Every structure is written in structure tokens, then in C-alpha cells.
Chains A and B, each alone.
Chain A
Amino acid sequence: MANRSPYPDTDDGHARRSADRPPGTPRWVKAFGIVAVVLVLLLVAMLLTGHGPGRHMDGQAHVTGDAERS
């Protein structure tokens, strides 16, 4: 019989469920969420400690008359 899945990029049309309640959140999504929260907290901590965007450009890099050090 032909595949009648509404999801043309998969073979199985994987999200078919017959229960009356919405399915629970998959484990991989929960793991993703935990990693995302940790990263957001890290970003917030960096912003609060002055390591956020614009830190490097505040002084527009000091223009010196020194010869290039290479």
C-alpha cells in the first residue's frame, strides 16, 4: 500500500498517536532544554560580569603610534 504519511520526508509518519492526551515531552527535548538553560545562565553571568557584547569595542582598540609588533 502506498505511504500516505503527511510527512513527506520520513518513511513512517512517526507522530501517529491514538491516546486522548497529548504525548509527554520526549527525553531528548528535556536534555536539550537543560543544556539551553545552562547556556543561557552562563551568558547572563558573562553579561553581568562585563564580558558581554561590546566589551572589546568599548575603547575602539587603542590607536597607537607604535610600530607593528609581529
Chain B
Amino acid sequence: MTLSPRLRKFVLTVHVASSVGWLGAVACSLVLAAIGLVGEDARLVRAAYLAMGAIGGGVLVPLALASLATGLVQGLGTEWGLFRHYWVLIKLMINVFATVVLLLYTQTLGRLAHLAADPKVGLAELRDPSPALHATGALLLLVVATILSVYKPRGVTPHGWRKQREGRRKRRVGRSDLGHAE
């Protein structure tokens, strides 16, 4: 399956927008996590956990899934493939890992938001370093994925190398057939 140039550009645009949007949303989550951890104002701390819960399910998950889906389409629908180049493969692994952890962690964020909404729960019980740790890890992974996307470091996998050879052979055969026809 090969995407038409117009469709390829469209999918690439959605992929870049969702991936960079995901990175931005994670950065916002990190700020909220820091407020939740060290904030002095009780209302602000509760609001931070409530906002993290809303951002988790309403922004992070849709953007992560969009990034993963468009990345898969982009890989399968172009010559890049999913397993031909090391940078694509590593980006795919980062994306899958971050999405799975996010989907699992969204439940925790929801529970923290639920607790933050309960006035009987004290701030000391509410404060939790885990959102900040998760957001920091996600931020690092997504920055690495962005760097890989932009720099596209060299290196084909053995599978990619075989595919390239097949492609070259087919092109050569196609050209010689054309020569005989003329």
C-alpha cells in the first residue's frame, strides 16, 4: 500500500500536529504536577490534580492515539516502512511504550482527581510525586522521538536492507524490459 502524495502530506501533517501537541500537553501536565507537589495554596493544589485528570483523558490520550495511528499509516504507506530504518523503529517503540503507560496511568490520574474533589482528603495525602515522575519520563521520550523525526539518523535494519535490494532489482528489471520494448 502506497499513499498518494496528497494523502501522505495530510497524514504527515496530522502526525506532526498530534505528536507535538502531545509533547506540549505533557509539558503542561508537568507544570500541574509540580504545583500539586509543592503548591502552597490548597485550592490551587486541588485544581491542579483535577486539571491533570481532565487533561489525561481529554487531551493526552486522544493525541497519543492519533500520533500512533498516523505514524503507523505513515510508515506502512510510504517507502520508510515500520521496520526498515532504525530511527523509525525506535520512534515506534517509544510511541507504543508511552501510549501504553499513558493508558494505564490515566486511571491513576482519574483517581487522584477524584480524591482532589473530596474535601475530606487532606493535602498531605493528596500530594503525590508520581505524576511529576511520569510527566518527566514522557517529556524525555517525546523529545527524543521529535529529535529522531527531524534528524532521521542513518541506519537501515537487515530487513530494510533486503527491501532496498529487492526494490533496486525490480527497478533494474523494469528498466531493461523497457529497453527491450523500445
Q: Are A64 and B86 in contact (CB under 8 A)?
A: no
Q: Are A14 and B128 in contact (CB under 8 A)?
A: no
Chain B residues with Cβ below 8 Å from A26 are: 86, 153-155
Q: Are A28 and B153 in contact (CB under 8 A)?
A: yes
A18-33 CB contact bits vs B (8 Å, 1 = yes)? 0000110110110010
Say if the beta carbon of A48 comes within 8 Å of chain B.
no
Chain A residues with Cβ below 8 Å from B45 are: 70
- Asked, given contacts A6-B167, A15-B164, A65-B120, whether A70 binds B40 with beta carbons under 8 Å apart, the answer is yes
B41 to chain A, nearest CB (A): 7
A57 to B130 alpha-carbon distance, docked (Å): 10
Number of residues of chain B lying within 8 A (CB) of chain A: 39
Q: Which of B80, B152, B161 contacts A23 (CB 8 A)?
A: B161
Say if the beta carbon of B126 comes within 8 Å of chain A.
yes
Chain A residues with Cβ below 8 Å from B125 are: 61-64
Number of residues of chain A lying within 8 A (CB) of chain B: 32
Q: Are A70 and B41 in contact (CB under 8 A)?
A: yes
Q: Which of B1-52 contact A (CB under 8 A)?
A: 5, 8, 40-42, 45
A15 to B85 alpha-carbon distance, docked (Å): 9
Q: Are A61 and B115 in contact (CB under 8 A)?
A: yes
A8 to B164 alpha-carbon distance, docked (Å): 15
A8 to B12 alpha-carbon distance, docked (Å): 12
A56 to chain B, nearest CB (A): 5
B39 to chain A, nearest CB (A): 9
Chain A residues with Cβ below 8 Å from B160 are: 15
Residues on A lying within 8 angstroms of B by beta carbon are 6-10, 14-17, 22-23, 25-26, 28-29, 32, 53-57, 60-70
**Smallest CB-CB A-B distances: 6 pairs:** A70-B42, A26-B155, A6-B79, A22-B158, A22-B161, A15-B156
Q: Supply 19 A–B pairs (Cβ within 8 Å), ascending by A.
A: A7-B79, A7-B80, A8-B5, A8-B8, A9-B152, A10-B152, A17-B156, A17-B161, A17-B164, A22-B161, A22-B162, A28-B153, A29-B155, A57-B108, A61-B126, A62-B125, A63-B125, A68-B122, A70-B45
